[in-house]
Amino acid sequence: MPAYSLVCHLYAKDDPEAIKKLTAKLQEASQTYTKDKETLNCYWQTFDKYVIPLLDKPMDLRRYNELDTSTEVKVEQDPALWEAVKKHQSQS
């Protein structure tokens, strides 16, 4: 399965308790997804039920597929450019 990132924009109600609860749920979700990449379906069912009543606006959830960088890609064909890049990277 290709890697992806979930970005969730939430607008909490103007209530310190709602903000505290949302923060805790986001921390829990992050910890859950980091440990197991396939928990999305079973865990997500708890997320909406808990989070939606705490929101002032609808949730904006986006999924971004990560680029595959497992193999080297070089579009630029100038060897001098790549030598300069390599030299610069080795200085870091």
pLDDT for 9-51, tens place per residue? Answer: 999 999 999 999 999 999 998 888 777 766 567 777 888 899 9
Radius of gyration of the chain from its Cα atoms, rounded to whole angstroms: 20
Do 2 and 16 form a contact (C-beta atoms < 8 A)? no
- Decide: 15 and 53 in contact? Cβ < 8 Å: no
Q: What pLDDT, on the 0 to 100 scale, is given for residue 88?
A: 92
pTM exceeding 0.85: no
| Token reading at 43 | 């865990």
